[in-house]
Amino acid sequence: MRPVSVQAALEEFVRAASGPDQVERFVDALDRAIVTRTPEFLGDPPLIADLHNSTRAQWRTFLPLLLEPDHHIAVPDYALALPRSIARRGLELRTVLKIYRVAHQALLDYVHNATAELADGTPFQHEVFLEIYNRLDLWLDEMTEHVIATFQAERQRLFSGASARRIETVDAILSGRITSQAEAGRLLGYPLHAWHTAVIVWSETTPIDTVNAQTLISGVSGQIDDPLSTAIGSRELRAWIPSDRPIEAATLSTCADGLAAAQVRLAAGTSAQGISGFRTSLEEAVAVRDLVTSTGSMPTVNLYRELEPLCLMAGRPDLTARMIERELGALNGPGAAMRDLRETLLSYLENGRHVEETARKLFVHKNTVRNRLARIEELRGPLAPSAPLLEVALQHRRYTDARA
């Protein structure tokens, strides 16, 4: 039986730690420590997102249970989605174990600091620290058992039968270990001689329904051959759509409503032919996915052919920021007024510098366009006859403005 004062201090701790802002600060601090110590997370935004979801779900589940007199554990689904994602990437069990080892030390530091903040209000600081830490220790021990079992079950599922052969063959093609188009096509039962359009379907927040995602992808091209798909984690599906000719952007956009209804998004590479195209189209789709997740932009369908300059720029954000500042000048400022000026200028350039067509596309009067163009020249000077970098800078700002 806990002393009343210790129970009251625990209630204060739980109340403070349960606030949305406090939860996000906790998740950020703990996961930063884990990612820093676990290189497998680097360059893998979907896996980091799975980590965030796991940490957040476990912390929110643990806090109310802390107030109960006896320890018991409730395993949230997100906690098991993370080891499944790790297994699907072909990583080893030691990655899972390292996460919980790093978390153990980070939690010790967090609880020490959090209970220190209670010191002025309670004489039971040490008892409160021990109560929280002992419960966390038990939680981590039991949770580790659950995630190990989940990881091993997923590995067994992946490496059994046709699913294992497909994943192994795809990995071998992408890494260059298999170079024979005929052999790879035979192993996969997939027409590698055809054109391929690689797509990534992913969710920002929840595990995806892979069957529904595969159905949406299958409906894109209307081809006889089915897409080839592999699940990468709980919230990402990669697929290749075979076709006898390149797939048009408008065709890929037809699935936007279905994807939005399923609360998933799509990144697509350009169509390319043969075994080399199988690789390059996926590289482009990955670049688009990384661009979208890093900028926080919101479009449902994201195509490499439309975003190629931004994907190329994403590798050097410092140089990109410098170029945008140089090209836009005062137009790079914040606020709705500057955003309207940027959008007007980009539309004007995209429409061959025709005022009437720009006004029609923006649903404004042509005099409004003229007034905005005059204001733009006041802010950054006259437009050059050719301004390719200016257009790229405006496209980049349009894409990042979508976060607002």
Task: Examine the fold and report which residue of 116, 133, 158 is the final residue of a domain before the chain moves on.
Answer: 158
Say how many domains are in the chain.
3
Regarding whether 368 and 271 lie in a shared domain, the answer is: no
Q: Same structural domain for residues 165 and 305?
A: yes
- Domain match, 248 and 221 both: yes
Whole-angstrom distance, CA of residue 200 vs CA of residue 51: 20
Are residues 62 and 78 both part of a single domain? yes
Number of DSSP helices (H) and strands (E) in the chain, helices first: 18, 6
Radius of gyration for the chain, computed over Cα atoms and rounded to the nearest angstrom: 26
Alpha carbon distances (Å) from 14 to 64, 131, 134, 142, 246 = 7, 12, 15, 21, 56
Q: Which residues contact 66 (CB under 8 A, 6 or more apart)?
A: 10, 13, 14, 131, 132, 135
pTM of the full structure: 0.58
DSSP states of 232-293: -SSSEEEEEEEESSPPPHHHHHTTHHHHHHTT-EEEE---EEHHHHHHHHHHHHHHHHHHHH
| CA distance linking residue 105 with residue 110, whole number of Å | 9
Domain termination residue (choose one: 105, 123, 158)? 158
pLDDT tens per residue, the chain (404 residues)? Answer: 456 677 888 888 889 889 999 999 999 999 999 999 998 898 888 899 999 999 999 999 999 999 888 888 899 999 999 999 998 887 888 899 999 999 998 998 888 887 776 655 555 677 888 888 899 999 999 999 999 999 989 888 776 666 777 888 898 999 999 989 888 888 888 899 999 999 999 987 777 877 777 777 877 655 556 788 888 877 888 999 998 889 988 888 888 888 888 888 999 999 999 999 999 999 999 999 998 888 777 889 999 988 888 887 777 777 778 888 888 999 999 899 999 999 999 999 999 999 999 999 999 999 999 999 999 999 988 888 878 889 889 988 888 876 55
Q: Are 254 and 322 members of one domain?
A: no
Residue 361: domain span? 317-401
Where is the domain boundary, 263, 282, 309?
309
On whether the CB atoms of residues 98 and 37 are closer than 8 A, the answer is yes
Paired tokens of 221: 């091209």
Q: Are residues 153 and 20 in the same domain?
A: yes
Q: What is the CATH number of the domain that holds 68?
A: 1.10.490
DSSP annotation of 330: G
As to burial, measured by CB atoms within 10 angstroms (0-12 exposed, 13-18 middle, 19+ buried), residue 121 is: exposed
Q: Helices 181-188 and 274-295 sit at what angle, rounded to 10 degrees?
A: 70
One-letter amino acid of 256: A
Together in a domain, 178 and 107: no
Q: Are residues 196 and 138 in the same domain?
A: no
Q: Is 93 helix (H, G, I), strand (E, B) or coil?
A: helix
178 and 215 in a single domain? The answer is yes
